[in-house]
Every structure is written in C-alpha cells, then in structure tokens.
Amino acid sequence: MEQQTGTFTVKKGLAQMLKGGVIMDVVTPEHAKIAEEAGACAVMALERVPADIRAEGGVARMSDPDLILRIMDTVTIPVMAKCRIGHFVEAQILEAIGVDYIDESEVLTPADEENHILKHNFKVPFVCGCRNLGEALRRVGEGAAMIRTKGEAGTGDVVEAVRHARAVLGEIRRLTTMADEELMAYAKSLGAPYELVKETKELGRMPVVNFAAGGVATPADAALMMQLGVDGVFVGSGIFKSGDPARRAAAIVKAVTHYNDASILAEVSKNLGEAMVGRSVSVMPEVEKMAGRGW
C-alpha cells in the first residue's frame, strides 16, 4: 500500500477543505487563538498586517520562522505564511518548518519582478493572487493549488476585491459560451496556458479553489464576495485593526456561511464596534498599490 505525498490532488484538496470559510491574518499566537475560536478555517501567520506594512513602508519580507512556529503550536487549524513573489528560498524555509500553505504574496516586496516561483517543485501547496483569469491560470500553470483575487490589501476598501472577482468570474462565464475552436485565440489574449483554459471551460469554474482577498472589512463585504461567486474569503487587516476583533471575526465567519440570508447578515452586523479606518483606493497614488506587483 504505497502512500504518495505532495501530489497536486492533496495540495488542491486542502484548499477544498477551506471552502466556505474565512482565513484570517494574525500576528501573534494570541490573535491566532482568537481567530480559531471565532471559527476561522485557517490563519495566515505574519509579523505585520498589510495596513501596517503600508503605514511603515520599507521592504516587507517573510516573517520570523519562530513566530510562525509559535502560531503553529497554538492552533489546530491550518497555518499559512507568506513569502515574497519569486523568493523560492523563503518558500523552502517555510516548507522546512512545516507550514500548511504558502502565500506567494504581493503584500510583501517582490524579490523577482519577472518570474514567480515554480511551485510544482514543492510538496507544500501555494496560493497566489490574481486580478483576472489570465493571471490566475498562469499561477496555476506554475503549480499554484489555490487562487485568491488580489483586491487591495490593507485598505479596508472592498472595491478592488470586487473588480478582480468580477473580472475572473466574468471571464469564466464568457469562456463557457465559447466554441472550442475559439479557445486558442482566447488563451492567447489571456496570456494563459491553453490546457488550463480548456479545463476551465469544461469545469465551468476555476480548476482550483478561488478565494477573495484584499479589502474585506465587514460581514457584508464578505457576503458580497461570496454572492459574487468566490469560494471563501481572506480577511487581513480588517479584523485585528477593528475595535472588537473577536466579535467582528465571529460575525464575518457567520456571514460567509449564511451569505445568502439577509436576515442573518443583519443580525451578525449589529454592534460590532468600529471597523478599521481604511483608505479609499480611488484616491491612492498608483505607486502605493500592491495589486500591480506580479503579472
């Protein structure tokens, strides 16, 4: 009875177990505990949430492995951690300490402006950001086992998350109505691998799990993304930069499960205290935007 580890099926499989759930950014073991108790299906362990990375500036890198390990020791749910785009040695380190998922993330300062990590080379699965279907399928082509739309991290402004989810899901809808002979030209225009374009058409959905990220701050934001058609939600700064993180975290979890039930959404939206202050993306200078990192 031979056991095979690190297959694409088991990498993709963990993301399938996360569906319908909320993945929360945490910077301490105490945060991780609060997230788990609120019902998070996984946590993202990092030193600074995106809002602080924005505020403090400088180069943002992989977090201290000791911090990640302490968070892994605290919770039983999966623990994810971020490496820089193209920084395959940070990824090797995260794999060596046993994180459950690596986010090759535009929130950190890119290490390579041309190439992403060849993710097929790893046993640990990767999630990557995208703004459209072409970018998503390029990442899957490199071995990403899960995709998240980028949004604009650390802003608390959901507008970019909506833009990117609408782009991806709209392109998939268009694809499903195309004739097979049109797929090569569409693959060319998307800049995406033909085989994955074909597979996406056949499945009528992204070939891997697709979450939303970048700007979700309220239960209504989370339910909005779910109704648009994503499989689950990442919440970064939105929880621990708010007035009452435990309460808000639990409310967002409930909103993702009951995303189609407006009376439950109304109930869970009550008395959450202050939401994160946020920054409007429409008046933000281009150079401050993270979503443009990677291609």
**Which spans of this chain sit near another protein (rule: CB under 8 A)?**
1-7, 9-10, 13-14, 16-21, 36-42, 72, 76-78, 95, 98-101, 123-125, 253-254, 256-258, 261
Q: Is 82 a catalytic residue?
A: yes
Q: Which of 11, 19, 82, 198 is catalytic?
A: 82
Which one, 18 or 162, has the nearer CB to another protein?
18
CB of 118 to another protein, least distance (A): 17
| Virtual torsion, Cα 18, 217, 210, 97, nearest 10 deg | -50
CB of 31 to another protein, least distance (A): 16
CB of 18 to another protein, least distance (A): 8
Distances (CA, A) of 200 to 72, 196, 206: 34, 6, 5
CB of 241 to another protein, least distance (A): 22
For residue 43, give the 3-state DSSP assignment. strand
The dihedral region occupied by 237, where left means phi > 0, alpha psi between -120 and 50, and beta the remainder, is: alpha
Which one, 122 or 186, has the nearer CB to another protein?
122
Which one, 99 or 291, has the nearer CB to another protein?
99
Do 146 and 101 contact (CB within 8 A), yes or no? Answer: yes
H or E element in which residue 225 lies: helix 219-228
Residues in the chain: 295
In whole angstroms, what is the distance from residue 193 CA to residue 3 CA? Answer: 30
H or E element in which residue 248 lies: helix 245-257
In whole angstroms, what is the distance from residue 38 CA to residue 29 CA? Answer: 14
CB of 175 to another protein, least distance (A): 20
Which one, 5 or 271, has the nearer CB to another protein?
5
120-124 long-range contacts (CB < 8 A, ≥24 apart) are: 121/88, 122/6, 122/91, 122/92, 122/95, 123/5, 123/6, 123/95, 124/6, 124/11, 124/91, 124/94, 124/95, 124/99, 124/100
Which one, 184 or 203, has the nearer CB to another protein?
203
Q: How many CB atoms lie within 10 A of CB 189?
A: 9
CB of 252 to another protein, least distance (A): 12
In whole angstroms, what is the distance from residue 180 CA to residue 60 CA? Answer: 44
Which one, 24 or 217, has the nearer CB to another protein?
24
Q: Which residues belong to the active site?
A: 82
